């Protein structure tokens, strides 16, 4: 029983973990901030505004010591949501255990470490696909004997569903990823060891609101996993063939409107993965009711923990054999999902496997997500409080000075910047330099395992940014495909046709097509919303400039001028809007780009008002689900700025 937690700095997060453990939490689930996840120190340009926002900042072994102070690592089961820098964070974890006298063979836990889904949905990648897969394979080969109770990878279908995946796509793309990982790992271990490698693979699955379908999905994944083990890899030991998975229930369906409704959504989603014994999750994380509003407070996380405890200790759902066994409905649905997943996995294989098929899979997810959004817009997919039953009373849960969410003190970033600089000045620099040089040598040699030099760098006192910088130098930089250019055109409907006509009229008056720049400043990699805006703008007839994630304010401003755009749209979901949006506005003014700026993201009302006062023309939040209407607003903004008519020829 876990809650995904961590914010600000190691000291604050350690206090939070201790309180959660006192309340009955039975494991840790560590959330790292975006600079830590993407391999940047707090004082890097791209870390601006992101330090401590969506997780805890961990820059070196000193931070990790503080984070885990007083927590019995030899007994604790720790899940770390970390991917691109997973090898580094595991090395820091092992180093802290070692320096506290804990044998690494006792360590239990999981590093998420699924880089393919980062390319597809979450955006916290650091290195190109090939070297990224090598890092994963090296971790697997190292841990299978050195840290035998550790799950070196958690194949993560969770974020695929958040990016719009259907159940068939979620099954197919995650299992295809598992095959790519196993194929890479098989080259790093001997034949006798490989079945144990297969047995250490675990999964992190999403559980959405469609209760029966989600339950059937897990039964289908379990059956296919056994099939893959036996037929593709020749694994026969039943212990190794188990489908081992944990669950975070869905955040995509949580609403900003009437957020108290999210509690019942969370409970139903938890039931889908606990009610049937043969498809029951081994570990569960529940989001808080207010995740669509911002960062949950400790009280909100406690509520999520209590939901799990009530289900486990007050109900009788754990007392019976599998209650779905023999159900004709469930069995038929499971078979349907299995057959659909087999077909989609075959398509991925035709593209060369999961690594080579990243572009194909990304496009499919963009199209699936667009279909979901349009169903909500048209009212075909009903979301209570959002597009039906919208009349409501004010929520008492959102009253008070904090508005129902936790706000990270801006001083955290300044303190972390000072702390990492102080750490660098006080360590043995010669030892760090030597360790990083050996890391670079190992990275250049495909036959060597990177984990040994990574551990050496962690012990010497290297930082997260230094470790990643060495590997970036050797492996190169990478920008994942956006899926926007290859996405099929949206089906015509009356509202889209009317929007196209308005775009045509304004474009004709301007003398060229309306051009929009869709940008994601900072390190926020959740690009689903930005992609949907870009696709809808394209389908409405606008020229679209979308370069993907991880842009500096200066790059956004330069691109706006070079491309001659009429409007800039910015998307931020990491809570860094208060720092990054003003920086973009300043950069645009400095570059001479006099264009309206619109912003979308998880932005509290008080922050939205402040952004408007600073010059932002429009602010949209998750409650603004009608993308075509948003596009209409943008057409009006451009028309108004240039003194042309938007509503008539």
Give me the active site residues, please.
Answer: 4, 158-159, 520, 524, 526
Tell how many helices (H) and how many strands (E) occur in the chain: 25, 14
Q: What is the token pair recorded at 546?
A: 């979308």
One-character DSSP codes across 274-303: TSSGGG--SEEE---TTTTTSBPPHHHHHH
Closest CA relative to residue 49, chosen from 525, 549, 579: 579
Distance CA 253, CA 267 (A): 13
67 touches 14 (CB < 8 A): yes
**Distance (Å, whole) CA 110 – CA 241:** 18
* Six token digits for residue 97: 């255990």
d(CA 20, CA 5): 9
Contacts of 258 (CB under 8 A, 6+ apart): 384, 385, 386, 390, 392, 395
Q: Phi and psi of 647, rounded to 5°?
A: -95, -10
Q: Which residue is it, tokens 């690592």?
A: 73
Handedness of CA 475, 478, 480, 481 (dihedral sign): negative
Give the helix ranges, DSSP H, for 23-128. 34-38, 61-67, 86-99, 115-117
Element (DSSP H or E) covering residue 649: none
Residue carrying structure tokens 């003014």:
589
CA-nearest of 143, 87, 145, 149 to 115 is 87
């Amino acid at each position: 029983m876990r809650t995904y937690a961590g914010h600000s700095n190691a000291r604050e997060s350690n206090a939070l973990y201790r309180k959660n453990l006192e309340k009955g939490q039975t494991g840790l689930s560590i959330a790292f901030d975006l600079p830590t996840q993407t391999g940047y120190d707090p004082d890097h340009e791209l870390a601006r505004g992101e330090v401590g926002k969506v997780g805890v900042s961990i820059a070196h072994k000193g931070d990790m010591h503080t984070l885990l102070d007083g927590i019995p690592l030899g007994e604790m089961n720790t899940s770390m949501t970390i991917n691109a820098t997973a090898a580094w964070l595991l090395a820091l974890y092992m180093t802290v255990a070692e320096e506290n006298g804990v044998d690494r063979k006792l360590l239990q836990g999981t590093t998420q470490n699924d880089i393919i889904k980062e390319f597809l949905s979450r955006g916290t990648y650091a290195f190109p696909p090939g070297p990224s897969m090598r890092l994963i394979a090296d971790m697997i080969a190292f841990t299978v004997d050195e840290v035998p109770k550790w799950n070196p990878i958690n194949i993560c279908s969770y974020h695929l569903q958040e990016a719009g995946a259907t159940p068939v796509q979620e099954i197919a793309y995650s299992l295809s990823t598992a095959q790519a990982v196993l194929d890479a790992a098989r080259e790093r271990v001997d034949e006798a060891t490989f079945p144990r490698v297969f047995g250490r693979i675990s999964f992190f699955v999403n559980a959405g609101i469609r209760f029966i379908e989600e339950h059937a999905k897990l039964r289908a994944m379990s059956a296919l996993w056994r099939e893959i083990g036996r037929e593709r890899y020749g694994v026969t030991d039943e212990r190794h063939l188990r489908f081992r998975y944990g669950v975070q229930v869905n955040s995509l369906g949580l609403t900003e409107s009437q957020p108290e409704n999210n509690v019942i959504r969370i409970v139903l989603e938890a039931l889908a993965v606990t009610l049937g014994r043969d498809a029951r999750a081994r570990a569960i994380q529940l989001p808080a009711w207010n995740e669509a509003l911002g960062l949950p407070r400790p009280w909100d996380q406690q509520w999520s923990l209590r939901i799990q405890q009530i289900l486990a200790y007050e109900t009788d759902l754990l007392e019976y054999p599998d209650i779905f066994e023999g159900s004709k409905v469930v069995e038929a649905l499971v078979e349907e999902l299995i057959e659909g997943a087999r077909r989609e996995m075959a398509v991925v294989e035709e593209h060369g496997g999961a690594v080579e098929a990243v572009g194909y899979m990304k496009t499919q997810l963009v199209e699936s997500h667009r279909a979901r959004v349009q169903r909500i817009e048209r009212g075909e997919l009903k979301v209570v409080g959002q597009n039906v039953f919208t009349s409501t009373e004010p929520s008492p849960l959102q009253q008070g000075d904090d508005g129902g969410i936790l706000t990270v003190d801006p001083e955290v970033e300044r303190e972390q910047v000072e702390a990492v600089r102080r750490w660098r000045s006080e360590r043995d620099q010669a030892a760090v330099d030597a360790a990083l040089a050996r890391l670079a040598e190992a990275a250049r040699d495909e036959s060597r395992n990177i984990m040994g030099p990574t551990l050496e760098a962690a012990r010497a006192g290297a930082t997260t940014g230094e470790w990643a910088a060495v590997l970036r130098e050797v492996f190169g930089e990478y920008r994942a495909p956006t899926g926007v250019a290859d996405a099929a055109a949206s089906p015509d409907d009356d509202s889209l046709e009317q929007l196209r006509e308005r775009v045509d009229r304004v474009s004709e008056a301007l003398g060229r097509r309306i051009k929009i720049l869709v940008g994601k400043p900072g390190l926020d990699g959740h690009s689903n919303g930005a992609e949907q805006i870009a696709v809808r703008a394209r389908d409405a007839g606008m020229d679209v400039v979308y370069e993907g994630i991880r842009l500096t304010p200066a790059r956004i401003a330069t691109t706006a001028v070079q491309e001659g755009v009429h409007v800039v749209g910015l998307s931020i979901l990491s809570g860094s809007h208060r720092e990054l949006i003003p920086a973009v506005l300043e950069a645009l003014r400095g570059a001479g780009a006099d264009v309206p700026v619109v912003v979308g993201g998880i932005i509290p009302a008080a922050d939205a008002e402040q952004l408007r006062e600073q010059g932002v023309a429009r602010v949209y939040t998750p409650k603004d689900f009608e993308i075509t209407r948003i596009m209409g607003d943008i057409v009006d903004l451009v028309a108004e700025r240039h003194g042309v008519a938007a509503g008539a020829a």
